[in-house]
Amino acid sequence: MLSGKKIVLGVAGGIAAYKAAELTRALIKEGAQVKVIMTKSAGEFISPLTFQTLSGNMVYTDMFVPTAKYDMAHISLAEFADAFVIAPATGNIIGKIAAGIGDDLLTTTIMASDKPTLICPAMNDKMLANPLVQDNINRLKKYGYVIMDSGYGELACKTQGAGRLPDASAIVEEIETLLTPKDLTGQKILVTAGPTEEPFDPVRFITNSSSGKMGYALARVARRRGAEVTLITGPTDLPLPPCKKVVQIRTAQEMYAAVLEHFKKSTVVIKAAAVADYRPAVLAKEKIKKNNQPFPLMLERNPDIIAQIGKSKGNRILVGFAMETENLLANAREKLHKKKLDFIVANNLREDGAGFQTDTNIITIIDTSGKAESFPKMTKIEAADKILDRIKEAIRRKGKSKK
Ligand code: CTP
């Protein structure tokens, strides 16, 4: 959430300027206050009225407009902002900022600002690849500007290549990251998420109703807080979070192999996935045809992934989830001990606002001392923050006990 955050959005003159309207909407939806500065050439692509209507604020276009109140816009906007984002950033605006030129309101305001700034380049692929543009981008990085990678795909000039402005949701995620204190830097966090699918013929499988939302929220928030995140995910409908590495698997056995491959390099493992405990014993090569007889489906056990890695967890923090429909705390405590976890996050599927498909959760965190801390209903992003706070605390305690 960007509730109460003040964002100044700079819009430069590229065809992707129209996408900045969508970005303004997305920022407002996240609770941010948005003020927009447009360059003169941005005004050739989209009207200031669009941004004024969407942001609910006047749009700044000119350095030298007399205002009723004496107000130097470039200074007051630099002071107003918690963060700046320039989207789209053209090769021209990137070059001007990199060269220390301030010849319009946007470049002058950026020059007057010491606030975190995200620059989202969007241009033709050849322009982006131009060594001068690349040098300018590297120079901006050197001075602490955060540069978002452009997307790859069809460009306005009908060629395929790098240079697309990323989706509004991806830019919002980068702004969240820009504004989040980095208290998990240096941690390598492995998150598993989503359901697994266990096929018994080429078109059918058994699964569960996990949406992946809790695991994806953990991956996002851990990354925002500076951790290097590897996400191992079963099939979900969610957009992938921008983690260092994402491994997409289907079955519990594939998840097991991926976890074994990555857990040694991790300092923390969070198993939010709803792993199928059983898989069909036989996988038919061809589609099974129906007849009038009952259809027996023999199942065999899948490995208990977290219990297996619990045996050789070393100094790693291991966090599990327990989704229950009855005896929540007793069942969760049993899993905590049996699987050698540092703590377990329990949630009751029967509670309104908790569980698989919802955007909210009601969690209780239980640690090895038996202490249970219950939290009120909150968004999965907020719940992820609470869980990561506990992980940070556990890392601190382990670090102390090693000394
Ligand atoms: N888990 C796992 N591998 C499995 C099953 C579960 O790693 N084959 C992990 C889950 O990711 C979760 C924790 O173990 O972090 C508890 O999962 P849950 O399904 O609640 O418990 P189970 O151990 O499967 O027990 P049961 O289904 O009998 O409640």
Q: Which of 75, 99, 129, 157 is catalytic?
A: 157
pLDDT tens digits along 173-231: 999 999 999 999 999 999 999 999 999 999 999 999 999 999 999 999 999 999 999 99
- Cα(221) to ligand 1 centroid in Å equals 23
- Binding site membership of 302 for ligand 1 (Cβ less than 6 Å): yes
Q: Which atom of ligand 1 is nearest to the CA of 302?
A: 8
Q: Binning pLDDT at 50, 70 and 90, where does residue 66 land?
A: low
In this prediction, residue 70 carries a pLDDT of: 53
Count CA atoms within 13 Å of residue 175 on its CB side. Answer: 32
In this prediction, residue 192 carries a pLDDT of: 98
Nearest to 35 by CA among 90, 91, 96, 76: 76
pTM for this structure?
0.93
In this prediction, residue 28 carries a pLDDT of: 97
- Cα(262) to ligand 1 centroid in Å equals 19
In this prediction, residue 311 carries a pLDDT of: 92
- Binding site membership of 222 for ligand 1 (Cβ less than 6 Å): no
pLDDT tens digits along 311-345: 999 999 999 999 988 999 999 999 999 999 999 99
Q: Binning pLDDT at 50, 70 and 90, where does residue 169 land?
A: very high
Quote helix, strand, coil % in the chain, to nearest 5. Answer: 35, 25, 40
Nearest to 234 by CA among 253, 212, 214: 212
**Does residue 157 carry a catalytic annotation?**
yes
pLDDT tens digits along 232-253: 999 999 999 999 999 999 999 9
d(CA 250, CA 358): 22
pLDDT tens digits along 23-42: 999 999 999 999 999 999 99
Strand partners of residue 89: 121
In this prediction, residue 122 carries a pLDDT of: 97
d(CA 96, CA 102): 7
In this prediction, residue 365 carries a pLDDT of: 97
pLDDT at 72 over 80: no
Domains of the chain, first to last:
6-179 (3.40.50.1950), 188-279+296-401 (3.40.50.10300)
pLDDT at 73 over 80: no
| DSSP class of 342 | S
Q: Binning pLDDT at 50, 70 and 90, where does residue 267 land?
A: very high
Place of tokens 């807080």: 225
- Cα(305) to ligand 1 centroid in Å equals 8
- Cα(287) to ligand 1 centroid in Å equals 30
Q: Which amino acid is at 273?
A: A
Mean pLDDT of the chain: 94
- Binding site membership of 277 for ligand 1 (Cβ less than 6 Å): yes
Strand partners of residue 344: 320, 366
CB 258 within 8 A of CB 232: yes
pLDDT at 300 over 90: yes
Lowest-confidence region among 111-115, 155-159, 223-227: 155-159
- Binding site membership of 321 for ligand 1 (Cβ less than 6 Å): yes
* Tokens (6 digits) for 191: 């998150």
In this prediction, residue 67 carries a pLDDT of: 57
For CA atoms 174, 72, 107, 9, the dihedral sign is: positive
pLDDT at 403 over 60: no
Q: What are the start-end ranges of the H helices in 67-196?
A: 73-80, 91-98, 105-111, 125-129, 131-142, 168-179
Report CA-CA distances (Å) from 201 to 48, 204, 206, 289, 293. 57, 5, 10, 10, 18
Q: Whose CA is nearest to atom 23 of ligand 1?
A: 335
* Tokens (6 digits) for 294: 């009952």
d(CA 34, CA 57): 7
Nearest to 33 by CA among 105, 83, 68, 71: 83
In this prediction, residue 155 carries a pLDDT of: 82
In this prediction, residue 156 carries a pLDDT of: 81
Q: Which atom of ligand 1 is nearest to the CA of 276?
A: 8
CB 190 within 8 A of CB 270: yes
